[in-house]
């Protein structure tokens, strides 16, 4: 990746470029076609980025005026720290730029925002089959050893 990579907060004018990345991210995790997210969820997610009362935030990676990656992160309270924890919920890069430092730059952007907020940690999860991403994650963070359980209600 050339040095023109810019990691920055998302802006309302980014919607047309953010949406294809969001759709590709959801497709990567099997949320497409009959299992696609309802439009209402996408619209609500987008609106939350710009609502100061919401804890949901977004950064984008821009190269040559084009968005090539995104990350969404949430600050929340925890029972084991005083400061807010930072959960990086979504991370996605355009396939053409994978392995070129965009994912690392986005994660570092979240780390910087967490430090500015006084958050003592950033954490995230990925699917056990996401081997490519885990190669990066193993270099820049530690595995917690925890497994995720969930039940749809």
Q: What is the pLDDT of residues 65-84, one digit of tens each?
A: 999 999 999 999 999 999 99
What is the mean pLDDT of the segment spanning 123-141? 93
Q: What is the mean pLDDT of the chain?
A: 94
Query: Other CB atoms closer than 10 Å to residue 109's CB: what's the count?
Result: 21
Query: Other CB atoms closer than 10 Å to residue 149's CB: what's the count?
Result: 5
Interior/surface letters 73-100, b for 16+ CB within 10 angstroms, e for the rest = bbbeeeeeeeebbbbbebbbbbeebbeb
Q: For position 46, what pLDDT does the model report? A: 98
> Is residue 121 over pLDDT 70?
yes
> Is residue 2 over pLDDT 70?
no
Q: For position 34, what pLDDT does the model report? A: 78
> Is residue 21 over pLDDT 60?
yes
The answer to whether the pTM exceeds 0.85 is yes
> Is residue 28 over pLDDT 70?
yes
Q: For position 3, what pLDDT does the model report? A: 65
pLDDT digits (tens, 9 = 90+) for 39-48: 999 999 999 9
> Is residue 1 over pLDDT 70?
no
> Is residue 32 over pLDDT 90?
no
What is the mean pLDDT of the segment spanning 88-105? 95
Contact 62, 17 (CB under 8 A): no
Q: For position 53, what pLDDT does the model report? A: 96
6-140, CATH topology level: Aminopeptidase (3.40.630)
């Amino acid at each position: 990746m050339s040095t023109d990579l810019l990691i920055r907060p998302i802006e309302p004018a980014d919607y047309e470029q953010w949406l294809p990345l969001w759709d590709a991210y959801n497709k990567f995790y099997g949320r497409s076609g009959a299992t696609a997210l309802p439009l209402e969820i996408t619209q609500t997610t987008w609106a939350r980025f710009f609502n100061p009362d919401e804890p949901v935030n977004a950064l984008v990676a821009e190269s040559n005026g084009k968005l090539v990656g995104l990350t969404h992160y949430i600050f929340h309270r925890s029972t084991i720290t005083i400061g807010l924890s930072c959960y990086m919920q979504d991370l996605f890069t355009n396939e053409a730029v994978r392995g070129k430092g965009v994912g690392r730059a986005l994660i570092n952007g979240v780390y910087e925002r967490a430090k500015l907020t006084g958050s003592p940690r950033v954490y995230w999860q990925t699917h056990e089959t996401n081997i490519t991403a885990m190669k990066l994650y193993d270099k820049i963070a530690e595995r917690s050893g925890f497994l995720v359980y969930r039940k749809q209600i």
